[in-house]
């Protein structure tokens, strides 16, 4: 499946993969910063943003989409950055198609299973009555019990097209909801898979997605892995501290 791509700049390619319920546009500010000296390509993963929808949604399929899209774009080997779910996609691609990846950046995620924290969000989104005249305020209020954080509600509601008649979700919400067990799980990898290229594992200082006990697994899969932290950032580190995020990337990518 070829994915929608947003490109800025010229030069060596850096590809950005968003997280669950995100889209390429989430990288807009950091993409502009990074594009000063290189070609930066942000992708909408399947069932997200403006990319096609499909009932199948596991990490091998998501990684294959990225490989197919990069081949169509003619990038050659790329520097690849993935955040959260996108980080698991990026790790899957690097470990199964190492020839496609020059350097890897994994942003605030580990190759492990996580608790089902997003299932209540998906259920609340599916339960939202999409009636004519639905306002953003009404939609926000409907999600408030399941999604207490106003910032997270705003992030989720960027996927709601209130201009459609009746309003509709832009994303493949039902496919995403059905795939959450696979998304939460550790990526399935071939036995003995390794990516020997330069790898940066970058966490948010205030996030617990990457833990000290994950480091041996990272080092087993990515022998050249180094670790960094974005000060003052939580899980959405590129949105919360874009300058610190870009500075950490600059130190690694040059």
Q: Which of 53, 140, 174, 214 is catalytic?
A: 174
CA separation (Å) from 224 to 72, 121, 201, 254? 29, 36, 10, 17
Closest CA to 19 of 235, 168, 230, 212: 235
161 membership: H or E segment, kind and range: strand 160-161
Closest CA to 82 of 71, 94, 72: 94
Burial 138-165 (b: 16+ CB within 10 A, else e): ebbebbeebbeeeeebebbbebbebeee
Any catalytic annotation for residue 174?
yes
- Compute the Cα dihedral for 78, 79, 83, 85 and give only its sign: positive
Residue 190, classified by CB atoms within 10 Å of its CB into exposed (0-12), middle (13-18) or buried (19+), is exposed
Q: Which of 18, 48, 235, 238 is catalytic?
A: 235
Q: Which of 18, 51, 65, 84 is catalytic?
A: 84
- Asked if 158 and 48 touch (Cβ cutoff 8 Å), the reply is no
Q: Which long-range contacts (CB under 8 A, 24 or more apart) does 51-56 make?
A: 51/1, 51/3, 51/4, 52/1, 52/2, 52/3, 53/171, 53/172, 53/175, 54/1, 54/172, 54/175, 55/175, 55/178
- Asked if 107 and 238 touch (Cβ cutoff 8 Å), the reply is yes
Residues serving a catalytic function are: 84, 174, 235
């Amino acid at each position: 499946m070829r994915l929608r791509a947003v490109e800025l700049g010229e030069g060596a390619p850096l590809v950005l993969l968003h997280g669950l319920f995100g889209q390429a546009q989430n990288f807009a500010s950091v993409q502009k910063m990074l594009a000063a000296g290189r070609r930066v390509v942000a992708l909408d993963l399947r069932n997200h943003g403006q990319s096609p929808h499909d009932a199948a949604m596991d990490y091998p399929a998501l990684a294959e989409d990225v490989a197919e899209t990069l081949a169509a774009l003619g990038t050659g080997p790329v520097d690849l950055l993935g955040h959260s779910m996108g980080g698991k996609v990026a790790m899957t691609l690097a470990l199964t198609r190492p020839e496609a990846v020059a350097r890897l950046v994994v942003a605030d995620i580990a190759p492990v299973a996580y608790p089902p924290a997003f299932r209540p969000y998906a259920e609340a989104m599916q339960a939202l009555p999409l009636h004519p005249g639905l306002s953003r305020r009404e939609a926000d209020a409907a999600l408030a019990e399941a999604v207490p954080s106003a910032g997270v509600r705003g992030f989720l509601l960027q996927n709601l097209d209130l201009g459609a008649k009746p309003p509709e979700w832009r994303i493949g919400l039902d496919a995403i909801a059905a795939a959450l067990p696979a998304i939460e799980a550790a990526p399935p990898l071939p036995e003995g898979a390794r990516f020997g290229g330069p790898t940066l594992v970058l966490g948010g200082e205030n996030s617990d997605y990457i833990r000290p006990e994950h480091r041996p697994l990272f080092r087993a899969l990515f022998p050249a892995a180094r670790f960094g932290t974005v000060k003052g950032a939580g899980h959405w580190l590129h949105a919360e501290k874009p300058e610190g995020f870009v500075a950490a990337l600059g130190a690694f990518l040059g």
